[in-house]
Amino acid sequence: MLNDKTRISVIGSGSWATALAKLLLNNRSEIGWFVRNEATVDYLQEFKRNPNYLREVEFDTNRIHFYTDINQAVEESELLVLAVPAAFIHDLFQPLSVDLSGKAIISGVKGMIAQRDLIVADYLAQDFHVPYSMLGVIAGPCHAEEVALERLSYLTIASGNEDLAAYFATQLRCRYLDASISDDLIGTEYAAVLKNIFALAAGISHGLGYGDNFQAVLIANAIREIARFVAQVHPLTREVNGTAYLGDLLVTAYSKFSRNRTFGTMIGKGYSVNATQFEMNMVAEGYYAVKSIFELNQKLQVFMPITDAVYHILYRRASAREEFKKLSQLLD
C-alpha cells in the first residue's frame, strides 16, 4: 500500500536525478538517494549541493539518506525512482543480489538498454521479474534545468497501474510543476526514446545550416514517425498530439537545454562522434537509442526515414549533408 510512509529512493546523481530529488523533497519529509561516487556524497553533505549537476539547487541533507551501495538502497526502499542513463543501467544492476520483483519502480530513463535493445520497462520485467503493474514511466515535456529554476513545468506519469501513477504524480506536484497520468506505459516510454533521436536530427539540421522552415517540417514528420512505431510495437488508442508525446518531442528538439539537440548540432557542424562526446562530457541518450531502434526496426519494417538518416550518420559515418539531402525528399 503506497502512502506517506512509503520509502522512496532516487537512483542516480545526474541532472534529472537531482531535479527529481528536489521535487520529491517538496512533498516528503525524507527520501533515499543512491549516489555511486562517495566523493559526491561527501560534497553534498558538506555543501548541500550536487558538485556536478544543477549546482544552484540547495538540499536539506538532514532529510536525505544517502546510499553508495545499490543493494542497500534497494533493500531499504519500497519505491525506486530510476534516473540513470540507459547505457549504465545494465552495469548498475550487475552486482544486485536483492530481489527487485517486490518493488515499485518509476523510470525517468529516456533510452534503451543497448545490450538487449529493450526499453527499461521490458528489461526490468524480463530480467528481474518486476510485474508491469509495479512499473511506471516519467514523461515530459520537462527539462531538469527548468525544474531547478522553478519554472512552470509539466510531467506525465504512465503506468498500467492507475493507483501507482496517481500516487507518484502526487509526490511530484508543487507550485511550479503539475503531473498528469496515463495508462500507456510502453508507448510513452518508446516515445521518450524516439524523441531523443529526433532531437539529434533537429540538431544536425541546425548544424548543417537548415532553417526554421525545414525543422518545422522535420518535427511534423517526426511525430508521425513516433505514431507509426508505437502503434506497431504496442497497439493502443492514444493521442500522439498530447504533451507526453508531441510536447516532449518539441521541448527536446528545440530547447537550448537539450543535450541531444546540442550533440546533433555538433555533428552537423562536422565534429566526429568521439569529439562530440568528449566535448559535451554528458550522455546524449539518442546516440545509443538510434542503434537499438534501428536494429529493432529491421524486424518491424516501420517507415522511419529520420531514424534511418541519423543512424547512417552516426554509425556508418555517412555524410550528414548527403543524408539530409536525401531525407528532405522523403518528408512532406
Catalytic hit among 22, 103, 110, 195: 195
CA distances from 150 to 33, 129, 178 (A): 21, 37, 12
Which 8-state DSSP code applies to residue 246?
Answer: I
Q: CA nearest 48: which of 63, 38, 37, 30?
A: 63
Residue whose cell numbers read 525506486? 80
Preceding amide of 85 cis, omega within 30: no
Cβ atoms of residues 199 and 310 within 8 Å? no
In a 3-state reduction of DSSP, which class is residue 320?
helix
Which residue intervals of 37-93 are DSSP H helices? 38-47, 70-75, 86-93
In order of 89, 116, 267, 270, the CA distances from 120 in angstroms are: 9, 10, 27, 32
- Distance from C-alpha of 283 to C-alpha of 273, rounded to nearest angstrom: 12
| Rounded distance between C-alpha atoms, residue 271 and residue 284, angstroms | 15
DSSP strand pairing (79-82 vs 64-67):
unpaired
Active site residue 195: yes
Is residue 85 within 8 A of residue 260, CB to CB? The reply is: no
By the 10 Å C-beta count (0-12 exposed, 13-18 middle, 19+ buried), 177 is classed as buried
The sign one gets for the Cα dihedral 249, 289, 238, 170 is: negative
- Grid coordinates belonging to 89: 543501467
| Spatial contact of 251 and 142, defined as CB atoms under 8 Å apart | yes
Instruction: Report residue 325 as a C-alpha cell.
Output: 539531402
Active site residues: 195
